Amino acid sequence: MMTGDVVAMWEVALSDGVYRIEFEHGTTTGKRVVWINGQEVLRRDWMFKLVGKETFTVGGMETRATVNIEAISGFTYEYTLEIDGKSLQKFTDNRSKATKTWVLQVDGVDCRIVLEKDTMDVWCNGQKMETMGEFVDDGTETHFTVADHECCIKALSSGKKRAGIVHYLMVDGEAVSNWDD
């Protein structure tokens, strides 16, 4: 059970889900604990050095994460999170370019669908989906099924060099608005 020593909390969006990372730092006991979505994943007790790094993995694809602990002044500390060797902000910025995310309800159930643009892998609520891709006159279509609903991600040229390719999600032939636009 988490104690009152939680000093930092971050939300990290990966293809297989959004993870809440919490970090406990007992500056009097030297304790360091990492929690992911309420589950303890790392614990170190009686650390004499109060600054340093703790590295662990997040998500089904075991993405590397590091909490950096730095002393600011006296007994004041700063905690930063790195994902895949990048600051959380840089990682998030890179992911928003490399992925497309939709959040919708299918049969009353919340669904978070993520397209990885580089591999064309599709994830729904943490599960990698079986897909079938095809070339069509104006781009590509990636077909998959969610709860007996026919889904399709259409990749079309925007007609603008800067905008590049635009991705649309269709569920049973109906367009779904984008979550990350």
| Three-state secondary structure string covering 56-77 | EEECCCCEEEEEEEEEEECCEE
Of 41, 59, 84, at which residue does a domain stop? 84
Co-location of 104 and 170 in the same domain: yes
Question: What's the whole-number mean pLDDT along residues 140-164?
Answer: 90
Residue 157: per-residue pLDDT: 85
Give 178's pLDDT tier (boundaries 50, 70, 90): low
Residue 42 in any domain: the answer is: yes
Return the closest-CA partner of residue 76 out of 54, 51, 49: 51
Residue 48 in any domain: the answer is: yes
Residue 3: per-residue pLDDT: 58
DSSP 89-108: HHHHHHHHHHEEEEEEEETT
Residue 56 in any domain: the answer is: yes
Name the amino acid, one letter, at 148.
D
For position 71, which CATH number holds? Answer: 2.40.128.180
Which residues, including other chains, have CB under 8 Å from residue 119's CB and lie 6 or more apart?
A: none
Residue 141: per-residue pLDDT: 95
Structure tokens at 92: 């998030």
Residue 143: per-residue pLDDT: 97
Co-location of 146 and 169 in the same domain: yes
Structural domain containing residue 24: 6-84
Q: How many CB atoms lie within 10 A of CB 7?
A: 17
Beta pairing partners, 83? 65, 86
Residue 24: per-residue pLDDT: 94
User: Does 79 have pLDDT greater than 90?
Assistant: yes
Residue 181: per-residue pLDDT: 47
Exposure string over 23-49, b if 16+ CB within 10 A, otherwise e: bbbbeeeebbbbbbeeeeeeeeeebee
How many domains does the chain contain in total?
2
Of 24, 53, 84, at which residue does a domain stop? 84
DSSP 47: -
Residue 1 in any domain: the answer is: no
108 backbone dihedrals φ, ψ, rounded to 5°: 80, 5
DSSP 169: E
Give 16's pLDDT tier (boundaries 50, 70, 90): very high
Co-location of 157 and 123 in the same domain: yes
Of 54, 84, 114, at which residue does a domain stop? 84
Residue 129: per-residue pLDDT: 96
Co-location of 104 and 167 in the same domain: yes
Query: Which one has a higher pLDDT value, 178 or 44?
Result: 44
Residue 93 in any domain: the answer is: no
